[in-house]
Amino acid sequence: MGGAFLAAAVLARIGGRIGLPTIPLFILAGILLGPNTPGIVLVADPHDLEMLSLLGLVLLLFYLGLEFHVDDLKEGGRRMALAGGAYLALNVGAGLGFGFLLGWGTSEALVLAGVLGISSSAIVTKVLVDTGRLGNPETKPILGIIVVEDIFLALYLAALQPVISGADSLGSAALDAGKAFGFLLLLAAAARWGTKVIGKLIATKDNELLVISFLGAAVLVAGVSEWFGVADAIGAFMVGLMLGSTSSGERIRALVHPLRDAFGAIFFFAFGLSIDPGDLPTVLWPVLIAVALTLLMNVFAGLVAARIYAFGRGPAANIATALLARGEFALILATMAASAGLDERLSPFIAGYVLILAVLGPLAAGRSGLLARVLPGRDADGDGTGGGPAGTPGRTPLAAGH
């Protein structure tokens, strides 16, 4: 584990000198030092870091919830639903069509629809932090799309499991989906009306007790969420949403930073451990076509979201590139597909597709100004981004401190 931290740090330091983002470098460290590449093997079994990796995902989404206020949900609910629905329609629809065109089977096409359709919440969160865009106007629709995706994710997983495993009980699938949706409603109600009570329960002047309290709450609710069929990440997000609006919110944001950064690095390192570069050549062309299709659909989705929020080209490019990466959800689907005995080409395809976009996403987000120049629409200067180019957005005092 110590070697994992140091390897990730060394590669990130080297990459930082030439302007590379940390996420693909953390992943690269996992690939180079994992069991699937020759040379030094720090971690022979990726499952050895599974719990620490999950903790990293929980903390990344918990922090995202801290930054996304309940007022944002209340004020922008309709536009958020429209932008999120448009993103899902374009990307999930394209993924489903691509899956059927490959001819691997109906169940495989349904898996590919989810793989191509859902962004990586963890990578999107890290991109927003690293680029200092948490205070930008277009960050609200980005976070809104992530929320809509995570709600869809919970329902999609519940519905997909009986389909790909060959179950014929629609009643069982409906019960699982209803249980997940009911728990989501419960969390949403607590975030909407229970903030004052939650704030009193968590309030303390002692930083040590505050860290233990919010960490325990985030991890516990994430675990309970998973038991109800809701992604653990969305449970952690909802806890962050609740605590961010309390009187302790600012202190929690400051205290969670080192935890988020440390365990977030392990999440991406463990992701790299699961990738076997030797499997990629067998599915190279389908992977490249899927990547090109995702790039195209994300540009369309960015333009649609920008139109809904009356933004210009700069924010549209930021939305398109920030949501480009795919990650943890695709790996969950790969595991489900393998356990259900689906086409053996799915696993290397998903690994290659996710690897390319996990690297390309942060790189593209850091250079979104290049995309903004070729998009249709008005310039970013008139849309409230502070007059800066898309790649160098304005920062709030909080975001600048990252």
Q: Which of 82-86, 130-134, 249-253 has the lowest mean pLDDT?
A: 130-134
Average pLDDT, the chain: 83
- CA 399 vs. chain centroid, Å, equals 19
What residue type is 353 in one-letter code?
Y
Q: Is residue 162 a contact partner of residue 169, using CB atoms and an 8 Å limit? A: yes
What residue type is 236 in one-letter code?
A
Q: Averaged over 21-31, what is the pLDDT?
A: 82
Residue 102 pLDDT exceeds 90: yes
Give the whole-angstrom CA distance, residue 275 versus residue 141. 31
* ∠ Cα 324 327 329 (to 5°): 115
- List pLDDT tens digits, range 156-168: 876 776 677 665 5
136 three-class SS? coil
Give the C-alpha distances (Å, rounded to integers) separating 376 from 64, 343, 388: 30, 40, 18
Which is more confident, 134 or 253? 253
Give the whole-angstrom CA distance, residue 247 versus residue 231. 28
Please give the biggest Cα pair distance in the chain. 60
Q: Is residue 43 a contact partner of residue 122, using CB atoms and an 8 Å limit? A: no
Q: Averaged over 228-253, what is the pLDDT?
A: 86
User: pLDDT confidence of 296, banded at 50, 70, 90?
Assistant: very high
- Range among 24-28, 122-126, 303-307 rated most confident: 303-307
pLDDT value of position 86: 94
pLDDT value of position 358: 83
Element (H, E) at 346: helix 346-366
User: pLDDT confidence of 354, banded at 50, 70, 90?
Assistant: confident
Residue 391 pLDDT exceeds 70: no
Does this model's pTM top 0.85? My answer is: no
